[in-house]
Amino acid sequence: MIVRRSTLPKVLLFLAAFVFFSANTVYFLEADTGALTAAATLNNDTYHFDFDHLPDSKPYLNTKAAILVDYDNGQVLYAKGADEVRPIASISKLVTAMVVIDNNVDLNKEVSITKEDAHRSSRSRLRVGYRFKVLDLMYCALLNSDNRAARALARATSGTYEDFAKEMNRKVKQLGLKNSCFYEPTGLDKRNVSTAHEVAKILHYAYEYPLIKKITSTKRARVKVANRKRTYIQLANTNLLIYSPYKVLSGKTGYIRAADYCLTSLVKNKAGERLTLVVLGVPGDRLRFRVARKLIDWGYRQI
């Protein structure tokens, strides 16, 4: 990404605005939107995967669908039900984040959590009436997979969840994804569907956004409740691969009963080799990470 000389002071101010509470815990004092809201050139290229050189032997995985792709050349190393349309739960939030950024929503804008946001939202520490900056809501939605945050972001962007879902569908259509469809921004609706194949592409496109890349590769952060003095909320990445020997470059977890446990991640080993992983329909929370590790370990042996 090229930084123009006139924008350099703003970038430096943004970097100076970090306060480190621990090696892995960060709270953002202020956000300069310029460096983070634009997709990194978001070139007009589309991602195509090569399914023509799949290995003859592959590991057994306790998952309904999966794909493993060499990020750097697009070669598919493993595929199981890769084009089967399935609910993807909170992986939907990657598309939510892209739409928010595409609409140039001010990251410093404050948004309140409403009763509508909280309705059947699953567990959340974002109480009705709390106000947060859009940037902090992005952290809550992507890092901690908070559904109230995703709904608040949708309202801040499009006014209603329904109009925002239309934006999500326009986005995936623009990306050439024919089997991905969204009815709301969180993934709680089982009609939010895609395929392992297309989820891998969604992750690749999301990785081109500096802000999404930054948030989803962070272990922990904390955000401030804007209308409460000295009130902060600690966040932890739900993607436990971030504690593995591999560097997580981006990713997202998901779970609803209809989808079972889901995960997508882009990881890098010490040699700099990058793999994109998707597992959908794993019958267990921790099991999805064991399945993911098994597949990643196997994949690196292939390349």
Q: Report the CATH number at residue 241.
A: 3.40.710.10
What does the pLDDT average to over 63-91? 98
Model pLDDT, residue 227: 97
Alpha-carbon Rg for the chain in angstroms: 19
Model pLDDT, residue 46: 83
Neighbours of 18 (CB within 10 A): 11
Both tokens assigned to 66: 């999966």
Q: Judging by beta carbons within 10 Å of its beta carbon (0-12, 13-18, 19+), is residue 191 exposed, middle or buried?
A: exposed
- Which has the minimum average pLDDT: 25-34, 94-103, 156-165? 25-34
Higher pLDDT, 29 or 250: 250
Residue 18 counted as domain residue: no
Q: 123 pLDDT exceeds 80?
A: yes
What does the pLDDT average to over 11-18? 40
Model pLDDT, residue 3: 34
Query: Residues of 160-187 as b/e, b for ≥16 C-beta within 10 angstroms?
Result: ebeebbebbbebbeebebeebbbbbbbb
Expressed as residue numbers, the domain containing 287 is 50-302
Q: How much is the pTM?
A: 0.88
Range list of β-strands (E), 33-154: 65-70, 76-80, 86-87, 110-112, 131-133
Q: 139 pLDDT exceeds 70?
A: yes
Model pLDDT, residue 37: 64
What does the pLDDT average to over 5-28? 40
Residue 236 counted as domain residue: yes
Q: 174 pLDDT exceeds 70?
A: yes
Residue 104 counted as domain residue: yes
Q: 33 pLDDT exceeds 80?
A: no
Q: 54 pLDDT exceeds 50?
A: yes
Residue 42 counted as domain residue: no
Query: Which residue numbers are catalytic?
Result: 90, 93, 145
CA atoms of 147 and 198, how far apart (whole Å)? 22
How many domains does the chain divide into?
Answer: 1
What does the pLDDT average to over 40-57? 79
Q: Which pLDDT tens digit goes with each residue over 242-301?
A: 999 999 999 999 999 999 999 999 999 999 999 999 999 999 999 999 999 999 999 999
Residue 20 counted as domain residue: no
Q: 224 pLDDT exceeds 70?
A: yes
Q: State the chain's mean pLDDT as an integer.
A: 90
Residue 287 counted as domain residue: yes
Residue 243 counted as domain residue: yes
Residue 159 counted as domain residue: yes
